Amino acid sequence: MQTMIFSATKARNQFFDILTWVSMGKTIMIEKDKELIANISPIFKVNKNKGLLKSLDLASVGFEYSKEDNPLRKKGASNFLGRWDK
């Protein structure tokens, strides 16, 4: 995370630029009379889909993928692919 320091006047004049930087993950510190008085930082959203994440973890248990099992990789299965390119 990157931190930038602005004076109060500069922060007032560039407020919308500061909001853009904060939305990109930067933390902005604002100082007045050479003293830090404010901190503007992004809000990190917490994923509230615990049930979905749990079910995805359970569904992926024992899942193994091999290229040989893919029907499009079997010999003669994908002859139609790329015909329009020729």
Residue 35 lies in a domain: yes
> What span, in angstroms and rounded, lies between the C-alpha atoms of 68 and 83?
23
- Residue 84: per-residue pLDDT: 57
Residue 77 lies in a domain: no
Number of domains forming the structure of the chain: 1
- Segments of the chain with pLDDT less than 50: none
In the chain, pLDDT over 90 holds for what percent of residues?
Answer: 40
> What span, in angstroms and rounded, lies between the C-alpha atoms of 44 and 84?
46
Structural domain span for residue 51? 1-60
pTM of the model: 0.50
Residue 52 lies in a domain: yes
For residue 24, give the CATH number of its domain. 3.40.1620.10
- Residue 67: per-residue pLDDT: 72
- Residue 1: per-residue pLDDT: 60
Residue 66 lies in a domain: no
> What span, in angstroms and rounded, lies between the C-alpha atoms of 86 and 83?
6
**Residue listed under structure tokens 């008085």:** 37
